[in-house]
Chains A and B, each alone.
Chain A
Amino acid sequence: MTASLSVKERMAIHRAEMPELPAGVRSGNFKEVNRGLSQDQAVLEAQRCLQCKHRPCVNGCPVAVSIPEFVGALAAGELPKAASILRGDNALPAVCGRVCPQETQCEALCVRKVKGEPVAIGYLERYVADWAMAHPDELPPITPPAKSGFSVAVIGCGPAGLTAAGELSRMGHAVTIYEALHDTGGVLRYGIPEFRLPKEIIDREVRILTSLGVSIECNVIIGKTLSLADLSRTFHAVFIANGAGLPVMLGIPGENLKGVYAANEYLTRINLMEAGRHESAATPVLKASEVAVIGGGNTAMDCVRTARRLGAKRAMIVYRRGEEEMPARVEEIKHAKEEGVEFVMLTAPIDVIPAPDGWVGGLKCMRMTLGEPDQSGRRRPVAIPGSEFVLPAGIVVNAVGTSANPLLTATAPDLSLNKWGNITVDEHGQTSIPGVFAGGDIVRGGATVILAMGDGKRASAAIDRYLREKVAGRLR
């Protein structure tokens, strides 16, 4: 039926709107904001796809999901087929459908964007992945691949590590993931709040991987519990995906006052440890009626929306550039605004002001204006003399970024690093040590979930080649 739809008919369909919890309801809880499309909505949206032969959308996807194919199957109502196409390309589709910045990736290259709205590829990916999770019996059974006889260690259970583990185990390799924290998911669990990505989704994606035979060892810190050399001795290849790590300090007076958090600490307490979420959580977190979050990225949006949910009357974003320059997703900025977050733009913090007894009392700031473009191409913020003012704040959260964590690299002297401490790799993710590959934030610095997944996928292909050519040759 759908195959018979003309281009004109397809063009006439309007882009689906994502049903959302009302802002007044959701800003008081951690329930997922986006509710997901209905089946009718999803099938209709899929019919907007023109099934371009040159597939520009696929080039925009860091893991190269076969977009027209899975969307085409969905448009025809063939959900099991859509699900298996999607699963074949992407180890974490329910995650990607939720947290990818589709507007700058697949959807940015969609032909339909030329004359209006692109196909809502992210919504459709999410719909198909959620359907697959809810209907496991209707999916074609996964035939276990022939065992290759090779073993691979993956360091870090975040998006890059999980993707690599999924790919490698489908290639028949025995995969063990080593994770430093007590639970899986990396930034998906400790960083991204449940109102964007429910933990149940991570648990289910991880269960699918373990059902493929991937084993996960938590509480093992490579560089401390075991060394990289230990893993190189025990496994045929290693993939390092241990993330970006250390928070960058603000470097302003007062940043060690009680009530100043780095974003990672604030989010880890609340997301991983469930502080402030319910009475029985053992981990505490400070609350205040005025919370200032410094930064303009997705991490800053996650912190400020979280502060609002913990009861802050004024939850503020303090950003030194303007809203146009914010690196956060447009959807997150929109959701934050709907939830009552204040945006204090063109403002830079210069001093955390103390209250009595060493607590935070406020944030002294300066107004900024935008000058000439800097190396990043964005206009450089310049302070306006005499514009100092104090924002009231009981909690200040620093979400300006992270730098490379030296925990592993300090104990692996053969591993080449760049001047920022990130691991250097070739275009296949191969490090300076043969058989050791790396990807994600430890290579890129702070980046996105999907870029980390792209690295995981690319490195797995290179690891597979390495094992079948180099190691197999050596063993023969």
Chain B
Amino acid sequence: MFQVISNEILAENLHKMVVSAPLIARARKPGQFVIVRLAQGEERIPLTIGDADAENGTITLFVQAVGASTLNIVHTAPGGFIRDVAGPLGMPTEIRTWGRVACVGGGVGTAVLFPLVKALAAAGNRITTIIGGRSEKFIILADELRPLSENLMTTTEDGSLGERGMVTSALTALISDPDRRPEAVFAVGPVPMMKAVAEVTRPYGIETIASLNPIMIDGTGMCGGCRVRVGNETKFACVDGPEFDAHLVDFDTLGDRLRCYRDQEAASFSAAKCKLSQEVPS
């Protein structure tokens, strides 16, 4: 059993949860994730480790309530417990000193980006962070990312905060300027966003790394549920990734496989919302 120390709402449906997990906090490196199961009968889902405090034995998880399981997790109050937290899983990010690096995050992807920016900054990289969302309320962690970045750019589709448009427009502008062009680009977010970023950098031959988010069960390489096509090879994101060369990833298959259980997920999400609204009248 893993105790929830704090649970803070960052944005609509997006929670920052600090969880006591001493062994994981000690072993974890940026880019790694955990598999979480809230209670008996619940499913196992992967969540990126946003931050860790080895001294206090805690890890930070950013959880977006997008379905039944995540909705139930974010409703765990401080002092409550998550039954199973296994990790740290996946390969850590290969932290190098490139010089100029662009880190691009979309939606909850920004939370996954946070530990990367932190580690890349610590390694002496000069970072332009580009974070985007549909509107102002989907822009998260700007205050945490600003001090780590040489330059922080925000984009919103409706123009309610920062530039109006997509993260790719901001990235295109950055790359077009030879004085500001990054040596490497990290992209974390929805599949169409990561695919678009890969297409922006491809003509320039800029090393681009995407953190993939396929469906996972065990997270230890046992089942192959998270398999992705990378440069005509089948890779298991949980053991070989989750980060891969974005120019080699088959994003269309990844996006398609993520829709495997869409109907079942929609049904259990509405059931979970209904149940929670009955339990907590507001």
Q: Which residues of A contact B (CB under 8 A)?
A: 180-182, 218-221, 224-226, 243, 245-247, 249, 255-256, 258-259, 261-262, 264-265, 268-269, 273-274, 280-284, 286, 357-358, 405-407
A357–B83 CA distance with the chains assembled, in angstroms? 37
With A182-B83, A225-B23, A407-B239 already in contact, the answer to whether A283 and B43 are too (CB < 8 A) is yes
B 32-50 binary contact with A (CB < 8 Å = 1; else 0): 0000010001111000000
Stretch of B104-112, B178-186, B187-195, B213-221 contacting A (4+ beta carbons < 8 Å): B213-221
Within 8 A of A (CB), among B42-98: 42-44, 68-69, 83-89
- Contact of B87 (CB < 8 Å), options: A224, A247, A258, A269: A224
Measured between beta carbons, the chain B residues less than 8 angstroms from A283 are: 43-44, 217
B217 to A180, Cβ gap below 8 A? Answer: no
Assess whether B221 is in contact with A245, with CB atoms less than 8 Å apart.
Answer: yes
Residue from the set B42, B87, B225 with the largest chain A CB neighbour count within 10 Å? B225
Complex contact B222–A268 (CB within 8 A): yes
Query: Contacts A224-B88, A246-B236, A284-B264: A407 and B220 contacting too (C-beta < 8 A)?
Result: yes
Most-contacted residue by chain A among B222, B227, B234, B236 (CB, 10 A): B222
Q: Is the CB of B86 within 8 A of A273?
A: no
* Chain B residues positioned under 8 Å from A225 (CB to CB): 23-24, 27, 86-88
* CB under 8 Å from chain A, chain B span 8-39: 23-24, 27, 37
Question: Main SS of the interface on chain B?
Answer: mixed
B69-A282 in contact (CB<8A): yes
Counting chain A CB atoms within 10 Å of each CB, the highest count among B27, B69, B217 belongs to: B217
B residues with a Cβ closer than 8 A to A are 23-24, 27, 37, 41-44, 68-69, 83-89, 217-218, 220-225, 227, 229, 234, 236, 239, 253, 256-257, 259-261, 264-265, 268
**Seed contacts A225-B23, A405-B222; 8 additional CB < 8 Å A-B pairs:** A218-B84, A245-B220, A246-B239, A249-B224, A262-B225, A282-B68, A286-B261, A406-B221
Within the complex, which residue of B223, B229, B265 is in contact with A284, where a contact is CB–CB below 8 Å?
A: B265
Cα-based distance from A225 to B229 in the complex (angstroms) = 27
Interface pair A262/B239, CB less than 8 Å apart: no
Contact between A221 and B220, CB atoms less than 8 A apart: yes
Interchain CB contact under 8 A, A246 and B24: no
CA distance A273 to B218 in the complex (A): 10
Judging by beta carbons under 8 Å apart, are B220 and A268 in contact? no
Task: Give the chain A neighbours of B257 by CB distance below 8 A.
Answer: 256, 258, 358
Verify B229–A256 contact, CB threshold 8 A.
Answer: yes
Please measure, in the bound complex, the distance between the C-alpha atom of A245 and the C-alpha atom of B257, giving whole angstroms: 22
**Cβ of A247: which chain B residues have Cβ within 8 Å of it?**
222-224
In the docked arrangement, what's the CA distance between A77 and B271, Å?
Answer: 55
Most interface-central of A220, A224, A283, A358 (chain B CB within 10 A): A224
Inside 8 A of A245's CB, which chain B residues have their CB? 220-222
B72 to chain A, nearest CB (A): 9
A256: shortest Cβ distance to chain B, in Å?
Answer: 5
Give 3 closest A-B pairs by Cβ, nearest first: A265-B223, A284-B264, A262-B224
Q: Which residues of A are found within 8 Å of B218, using beta-carbon distances?
A: 180-181, 268
Given the interface contacts A225-B27, A246-B236, A407-B239, does A281 sit within 8 Å of B221 by beta carbon?
no
Question: Chain A's nearest CB lies how many Å from the CB of B2?
Answer: 8
Contact residues in B for A218 (Cβ distance below 8 Å): 84
Interface pair A273/B217, CB less than 8 Å apart? yes
* Residue in contact with B253 in the complex, picked from A256, A259, A406, CB distance below 8 Å: A256
Contacting residues, chain B, for A268 (C-beta < 8 A) = 217-218, 222-223
Chain B, Cβ-Cβ closest to A405: B221
- List, in ascending order, chain B residues with CB within 8 A of A219's CB: 84-86
Cα(A249)–Cα(B235), bound, Å: 10
Residue among A258, A259, A357 with max Cβ neighbours from chain B (10 Å): A258
Selected A-B contacts with CB under 8 Å, 24 pairs: A180-B220, A181-B86, A182-B37, A218-B84, A219-B85, A243-B222, A245-B220, A246-B224, A246-B236, A247-B224, A249-B224, A256-B229, A258-B260, A262-B224, A268-B223, A273-B43, A273-B44, A283-B43, A283-B44, A284-B261, A284-B265, A284-B268, A358-B253, A405-B221
Q: How far is the CA of A282 from the CA of B275 in the complex (A)?
A: 14
Bound: A261/B27 CA distance, A: 32
- When distances are taken between beta carbons in the complex, the residues of chain B under 8 Å from A249 are 224, 227, 234
With a cutoff of 8 Å between Cβ atoms, the chain A residues found around residue B220 in the complex are: 180, 221, 224, 245, 405, 407
Residues from chain A with Cβ under 8 Å of B256 in the complex? 258, 357-358
Measured CB to CB, the nearest residue on chain B to A402 is B222
CA distance A393 to B69 in the complex (A): 30
Q: Which residues of B contact A406 (CB under 8 A)?
A: 221, 239
- Cross-interface CB contact of B224 among A243, A265, A269, cutoff 8 Å: A265
Indicate whether A265 sits within 8 Å of B260 (C-beta atoms), given known contacts A180-B220, A182-B37: no
Contacts A247-B223, A247-B224; A220 near B23 (Cβ below 8 A):
yes
Contact among B86, B236, B261 with A221 in the assembled complex (CB-CB below 8 Å): B86
Please, which residues of chain A bring their CB within 8 A of the CB of B227?
A: 249, 256
Q: Which residues of B contact A258 (CB under 8 A)?
A: 256-257, 259-260
Chain A neighbourhood of B264, CB < 8 A: 284
* Contacting residues, chain A, for B89 (C-beta < 8 A): 221, 224
**A182 lies within 8 A of B260 (CB):** no
Q: Are B223 and A282 in contact (CB under 8 A)?
A: no
Residues A407 and B223 in contact, CB atoms below 8 Å apart? no
Q: What residues on A are CB-neighbors of B224 within 8 Å?
A: 246-247, 249, 262, 264-265
A182-B84, A225-B23, A265-B225 in contact; A282/B41 too (CB < 8 A)?
yes
A258–B252 CA distance with the chains assembled, in angstroms: 12
Shortest Cβ distance from residue B198 to the other chain A in the assembled complex, whole angstroms = 19
Contacts of B23 in A (CB 8 A): 220, 225-226
Instruction: A269 to B42: give the CA distance in the assembly, Å.
Output: 12
Distance, CA A219 to CA B86, complexed state (A): 5
Alpha-carbon distance between A359 and B259 when the two chains are bound, in angstroms? 10
Q: Which residue of A lies closest to B233 (CB)?
A: A249
